[in-house]
Each structure stands twice: as C-alpha cells, then as structure tokens.
Amino acid sequence: MKRLKFSQYFIDTSDDFNHTGKARYKIDYKVVPYTYKGFPFEANYEIHYEADRNVIQINFQATNGNMDWVTNLLFTQKYYDSFIYNGKKITLRVHNGWAAMYKAMKHLIRDRVNVLLHVNPTAEIEIIGWSLGSGQAQLCAQDIFYNFGRKVNLYTYGSVNPWKTNIFNRRKIKRYLRECCNDCYNFSNVNDFVTYLPPRLFGFIKIKRRPVGRPFIFWKLFNIRKYHTTYDDESLYTKYYKH
C-alpha cells in the first residue's frame, strides 16, 4: 500500500474545507438516522475501495449540524465492551454520545468491509476522520480489529479523546488500542482546543496522540476556527515522515 501525504487525507475527508482544489474526489457520506434518549440524530460514514493502492478506506464526517454538537457534549462515559485479549480482561468505556453514534452504524460498516475484503482479501484498511469523525474513526479501528482481526491504518485530525480510562487500567487499555493499528496518527495541533476534549484530567484518551503546530501558546486555544481547520498544511507533518 502506498500511503498518501498526511495533508491529503485531511483534504479528502474534510471535503476540502479550505478550498485548496486538491481533493481527489468528493466524499458522499451515507446518513444513518438513529434515536438517542428520545431525540433524533444521524451518523455519517463512507467506505470505498482504491484499486491503485489496494486499500479499503473508511471515512467519518466531522461535526455537521446542531445535533452533532449535542453529541459532542455528552461527556459522560459509558460501558462499551468487555472481552479477553491475550489472556487479559479488557473493559472499554467510551464517551457516551460518540459510543451511541458509532453503534448506530457499526453493523453497516462491518457488512460493507466484509464484502470488500471478500473481493480484495489482501487489501489494507485505512480509517480517516476529522474532529467528531476522529472519535468515530478510533472506535472503528478497534471494532475492525476485534471483528476481523485486521490491523488498520488510522489517520485522524483535530483528534478528540473518546476512550475513558483510570489510573489503574490506562496503560493496559492504551497498549491494547495501539495493537489494533499498524499506522496510528491521531494528529493534534497543540493550539487546537478541540484535541484536549474530553479532558485527560477526567481519564479520557486518544489512541496515539501525534502533536503538530508547536510551540504551544495558551491564547491560541481560543482561536478554534484557525487551529482546528489547518490540517491541510503539509509542513505540519515533516517530522513524522522520518518514522
């Protein structure tokens, strides 16, 4: 598989938010309506196969509309799953709103991935998301690994913290989640306020934080419009091509 430039994944999954003209295609996100606590919501995803790179790519849409903001603010943690992995019990807890959103579409995603893997058994799997989509992408990475035994390549931008841990299990959960991935880049501009949510102070984490945009300057956190949307700047990723 030939990996794209890191900035290209953001341009594509964000529908070329900054109008660079470099998007490879326009993503047609599928809409999955669902109800949570009596209120209507929708989940959005897209899956396709790229023959030239032999890749199954899964995209998740960023926050889009008022109800997505409600989802983002449901910070309470929720029991997600419990299972035995390599002889150890793993119990996953997740940001409540994002867990409900992913569960609404997970069976559709699995079914489509299963079909594409049947036709393209050697294909690698890429999962991409920005903002809200970064949380969905991380949940999907674990889900694909758990159900298909396939390690994925995960690229997220403005990356949020969907996983809830505590001081006793944090290391074990992090180790397991990283084993779900081949490549794992949860890009987080150090001046992007969104990437600190939900707060690590409350035990929330992302799989593998990849800081960009240094130096950190506190007042820049209040310019969310700028620092949450400039992940199409290829110069942010220079050091990561050495890995």
The domain that contains 37 carries what CATH number? 3.40.50.1820
pLDDT of 243: 54
Element (H, E) at 106: helix 96-119
Q: Please state at what angle helix 96-119 crosses helix 132-148, rounded to 10 degrees.
A: 50
Res 66 pLDDT > 60: no
Mean pLDDT of 81-85: 91
Q: Given CA atoms 235, 194, 27, 109 in this order, what sign does their dihedral have?
A: positive
CB neighbourhood size of 31 (10 A): 10
pLDDT at 77: 62
State which residues form the domain around 196: 6-19+28-242
Least confident interval from 60-74, 79-93, 153-167: 60-74
Q: Is residue 97 part of a domain?
A: yes
The answer for residues whose C-beta is within 8 angstroms of residue 212's C-beta and 6 or more apart is 187, 188, 189, 190, 231, 236, 237
Query: Residue 65: is its pLDDT beyond 50?
Result: no
Q: Rounded to two decimals, what is the model's pTM?
A: 0.94
Domain annotation covers residue 227: yes
Residue 117, pLDDT > 90, answer yes
Q: What is the DSSP-derived secondary structure letter of residue 162?
A: -
Q: Which of 21, 85, 82, 63 is CA-nearest to residue 157?
A: 63
Burial of 141 (C-beta count, 10 Å sphere; 0-12/13-18/19+):
buried
Number of domains in the chain: 1
- For residue 1, being part of any structural domain is answered with no
